[in-house]
Amino acid sequence: MLWRGARDWPLFLTGKSMIVAGGLNAKVVIYPIAEGSSPASRLTNWAVLVKVGEGNVPPPRKEDWSRPGRREELMPHVARFSVPYIDVKSLISATPEFYEYPTCDRDPLPYWSSGRVTLLGDAAHPMYPVGSNGASQAILDARCLADALVRAEHPRQALLEYEKKRLPMTADIVRSNRRGGPEGVIDAVEQLAPDGFDNVDNVLSYSQREAIVRGYATKAGFAAVPGLAAVRA
């Protein structure tokens, strides 16, 4: 379940910083999204994502993307976070309105296209919202489909080419996001040092952490292609 809200709040760190704290089972994400009411504040977005509905716990309510959140359900989860530089509990408690979003995905489909019709974006591959992939993969779908339509002699040929390229790639991302996506680096550190640490490099080196994040970027199609800018120029 994801709860999200925004509140005018004193700036923290650089005033443009983003905090991600927690792992696959529970995390809080905080970042500024607009100027605040004064130079010393920012309109600050927060999100709390918690895994619920496992074991004997009933599943979350049916998907609804505009349901007001219930403070009595959210705050027990908030209590588990202790984050430097910002008082998470006070920020969320001071937010008058917030919303809940049941996060869900679907198993990858065997095909997307039928005749002259195909799927794109969330209709083709709904996935957990990690790694900035909600809109990003839809954009990559659209680019791939447009390129295929330009090259193909017949639209149906283009749809098949598009599906052949994009379906396995997005299916891989759906499965990866179930394991935490790029934020899986946090879970890797937590598994190795469940009681905390003084220096993260003693737990997992920078090169190892970078490999996890860059590996996901390559999988998701975000990695920079050497020489591409020069070719386009």
pLDDT tens digits for range 22-40: 887 888 999 999 999 999 9
pLDDT tens digits for range 111-145: 999 999 999 999 999 988 776 777 889 999 999 99
List the chain domain ranges. Answer: 2-101
* Whole-number average pLDDT of the chain: 87
Q: Is 111 a catalytic residue?
A: no
Beginning with the edge strand found earlier in the chain, give each strand of the sheet holding 19-22 in spatial order: 19-22, 26-35, 41-50, 2-10, 99-101, 67-68
Q: What's the rounded Cα separation, in Å, for the pair 30 and 21?
A: 9
Q: Nearest-CA neighbor of 69 among 43, 44, 47, 42?
A: 47
The pLDDT value recorded for residue 109 is 96
What six digits make up the tokens of 131?
């790694």
Q: What's the rounded Cα separation, in Å, for the pair 49 and 26?
A: 6
The pLDDT value recorded for residue 139 is 93
Q: Nearest-CA neighbor of 154 among 110, 115, 112, 111?
A: 115
Q: Nearest-CA neighbor of 123 among 165, 137, 181, 100?
A: 137
Those residues of the chain that have pLDDT short of 50 are 225-233
The pLDDT value recorded for residue 11 is 94
Can you name the residues that pair with 198 across neighbouring β-strands?
none
The pLDDT value recorded for residue 205 is 92
The pLDDT value recorded for residue 230 is 35
What six digits make up the tokens of 72?
């009595």
Q: Which CATH class is domain 2-101?
A: alpha beta
Q: What is the DSSP letter of 53?
A: S
Q: Which pairs with CB-CB distance under 8 Å and at least 24 residues apart come from 106-110? A: 106/174, 107/174, 108/167, 108/170, 108/171, 108/174, 108/175, 109/167
Task: Map residue 81 onto helix, strand or coil.
Answer: coil
The pLDDT value recorded for residue 216 is 75
Catalytic residue among 31, 85, 111, 162: 31
Task: Tell me if 74 sits within 8 A of 46, measured CB to CB.
Answer: no
